Amino acid sequence: MTRLIEFLIALALVLALFLVIGLVLPSKRSLEESAETNRRMTIVFDTLNNVRRLKDWNPLIPHAANELSYSGGDEGHAGVGARVDYTSTGAWGKGSWEIVENERPAPNGGTGKIAYAITDSKLGTDKKTVFNLEPTGKNHRNVKVTQSYEVTYGWNLVGRYAGMYVSRHVGDAVKAGLSKLTNMLATVPNFDYRTEGSKLTDLKIVDVPAEDLLVVNAGNIDRTNEAIKASIKSNQEWIKRVMEANGLEAAGPLRIVTTDFGTEKYAFDVAQPVRKAGSAPKNAEGEEPPVAVPAAAASAGTLKVTIPSGAPVTHVVGKEHRSATAKYTGFVAELDAQRSAMRAWAVTNGYEVVERPYESWKSGVDPSFDSGTAEFDLYWAIK
């Protein structure tokens, strides 16, 4: 009996000590980690401001697409209100990350901020993580990313004890995540697609219909305007001959499909969307729409094309797909930089570009080389 009483007294002392220490421990915990990247502020902000990209670098949520669902924000699930919910059989359990506040950096430089509210199955409430972005380095060319994390335990004494290890359980994940984030950002073309006065506009995702194309592989051409222009016009003549032989007409502007844009050579294809002559859709007045407006060829997949002997032309049926697209007005020599900028926009918004990019030359061949006001529509297919 004496031993039982001693045991109960010892247990009571332990419980009392547990309560006293628990009450002394902080009811809130916070931590902070930083990393630096040489990507443009626009790229860093847009990456962190889009919940679709979290799975690619954040160890605190699952990475499997079938365990994630997106809602809120803009069309691409970016900005305040954008949310990712996850349900996992692994260590993550069930939870969500939602953007509750953001401050976009000024175009002429400045700091940025993105705040997330977090729910998960771990101890604690009112969980929040904030990313503060600050220009740093020589001429402010780099960006310092500082991630803070806060959690409240209130009167949950078990939670207060768990808070003693938050720097290990969460802090290590935050540190690893920032390292993975900077590595991921290094793969993004370092072009600022939101720079003030940019000629690249109307960036968006569109559905591209199936269509019939006549294509010529131009090969590897010297990277001079004269050589490229001559090649395009020569191949365009081959395409015109095939169109005339098959009773076809243009279903949209000429396209240039880029295979490789090297320092000395440019490998590309010349492509022309086509349809049967007279098969264009009519408008309300019974008139055909302008050729400059891309349209699906009604016969896509069924158009029969006979290629004359010796003609280096191929009939290709382009499949229906989704694509990143943008409008550009300027010199043809700047197209490669604009392609890279559009790819940077697509990647930061959580899309993976595939296949080869192409441009619709809406102003024609000669004006595109001779004028700084030529108009192009850029496309790059996405998964």
For 182-224, the DSSP string reads HHHHTTS----TT-TT-SEEEEEEEEEPPEEEEEEEEEEEESS
pLDDT at 201 over 90: yes
Q: With beta carbons less than 8 A apart as the criterion, state whether 44 and 160 touch.
A: no
308 alpha carbon, distance to own chain's centre: 43
Domains and CATH numbers, the chain: 25-185 (3.30.530.20), 204-381 (3.20.80.10)
pLDDT at 299 over 60: no
Q: Which pLDDT value is given to residue 29?
A: 86
Q: With beta carbons less than 8 A apart as the criterion, state whether 382 and 322 touch.
A: yes
- pLDDT range class, residue 10, cuts 50, 70, 90: low
| Mean pLDDT over each residue of the chain, to the nearest integer | 88
Strand order in the sheet with 94-103: 28-37, 142-152, 125-136, 112-119, 94-103, 83-87, 68-71
Q: Which pLDDT value is given to residue 107?
A: 77
What's the rounded Cα separation, in Å, for the pair 283 and 359? 26
Give strand pairing partners of 381: 323
Query: Per residue in 68-100, pLDDT tens?
Result: 999 999 988 999 999 999 998 888 899 999 999
pLDDT at 294 over 80: no
pLDDT at 8 over 70: no
What's the rounded Cα separation, in Å, for the pair 62 and 88? 7
Residue 176, token pair as written in the block: 């690893």
Q: With beta carbons less than 8 A apart as the criterion, state whether 96 and 123 touch.
A: no
* Look-up of token digits 């300027």: 330
Strand, coil or helix: 301 = coil
pLDDT at 15 over 70: no
- pLDDT range class, residue 25, cuts 50, 70, 90: low
Cβ neighbours, 10 Å, residue 230:
13
Q: Which pLDDT value is given to residue 295?
A: 43
pLDDT at 298 over 50: no
What's the rounded Cα separation, in Å, for the pair 262 and 355? 17
Q: Which pLDDT value is given to residue 282?
A: 59
Q: What is the DSSP string of 230-261?
A: HHHHHHHHHHHHHHHHHTEEESS--EEEEEEE
User: What's the average model confidence in pLDDT over 56-75?
Assistant: 93
Tell me which residue of 84, 92, 90 sits closest to 121, measured CA to CA: 92
What's the rounded Cα separation, in Å, for the pair 255 and 218? 12
* Look-up of token digits 């996405």: 382
pLDDT at 292 over 50: no
